[in-house]
Amino acid sequence: MIRALYVLLKMIRIYIKRLFGLITLLMGIALSGWFIYNQFCPTEEFKSGFKSVFQLFFPLICLVTGWKNIRYKGKSIEEVVPADLQCSELEASVAKAKETMSDFLKEVDKGIDGAYIKFPLQSEDGPIEHIWAYVHFYRNELFNVSLANEPIDDSEDYDGRQDVGIDQVQDWQIIDSDGSIRGAYSLIALFEYWGNQGKDLSPLMKLQKSQLTYAK
């Protein structure tokens, strides 16, 4: 009973956010339409009230925010990571990724597009960040990669390519042309962790899990 109530409250929260998104979006459309109309038939109110192009920011913000919220499907699995990324499920995922590394290397050697690795990125001043990177090729036990995510610490330039040793790899994934994802054991581990906490999946989480080929 309590579990069902919890799920119901989560769904109500999602629909309330979508409702506010719809209201905000309609407000943005109305204000934008009013502005466009006044470019051709300016009203006295517009002539006296419009002072700067910066007044357009509000309807634009309404449009962007409304569109984002109207498509809200709840939290993603990346938003429910355990504190300090410490849990038995994630620890096991690293071992699983290393155990299946030969499968990944076969695909990389074929020059497959959509191959990624996760590794610990250490900046000079910031903490260690576990980040995904696109794999260009593999040679001499080194992956040549470009970062796929923006690092939290933006004080250093990571725009170019870099080499990552195979011993540093914590996870791998291959995103196929149909959107399905092979590997991604750290993401699978997060689903296991969430389920072991007795938590239900949000609609967005269910969509994410459906894309994981190896997820149960």
The pLDDT score that the predictor gives to residue 107 is 96
What's the pTM value of the predicted model, to 2 decimals? 0.70
Q: Is the pLDDT of residue 197 over 80?
A: yes
| pLDDT tens digits for range 62-72 | 888 888 888 77
The pLDDT score that the predictor gives to residue 210 is 92
Separation between Cα atoms, residue 207 and residue 209, nearest integer Å? 5
- Once rounded to an integer, what is the mean pLDDT over residues 208-213? 92
The pLDDT score that the predictor gives to residue 96 is 96
One-letter amino acid of 102: S
C-alpha pair distances (Å), 119 with each of 86, 104, 122, 137: 16, 15, 10, 16
Q: Where are the domains of the chain?
A: 2-70, 79-210
The pLDDT score that the predictor gives to residue 9 is 67
Separation between Cα atoms, residue 85 and residue 50, nearest integer Å? 51
The pLDDT score that the predictor gives to residue 164 is 94
| pLDDT tens digits for range 78-99 | 887 776 667 899 999 999 999 9
The CATH code of the domain at 79-210 is: 2.30.30.140
One-letter amino acid of 101: M
Q: Is the pLDDT of residue 53 over 70?
A: no
SS3 176: coil
pLDDT band of 176, cuts 50, 70, 90: very high
pLDDT band of 4, cuts 50, 70, 90: low
Closest CA to 113 of 143, 140, 134: 134
Separation between Cα atoms, residue 103 and residue 2, nearest integer Å? 44
Q: Is the pLDDT of residue 28 over 70?
A: yes
- Once rounded to an integer, what is the mean pLDDT over residues 35-42? 80
**Residue 212 burial (CB count, 10 A):** 19
pLDDT averaged over every residue in the chain: 84
The two tokens of residue 137 are 């090729």
Give φ, ψ of 215 to 5 degrees.
-75, 140
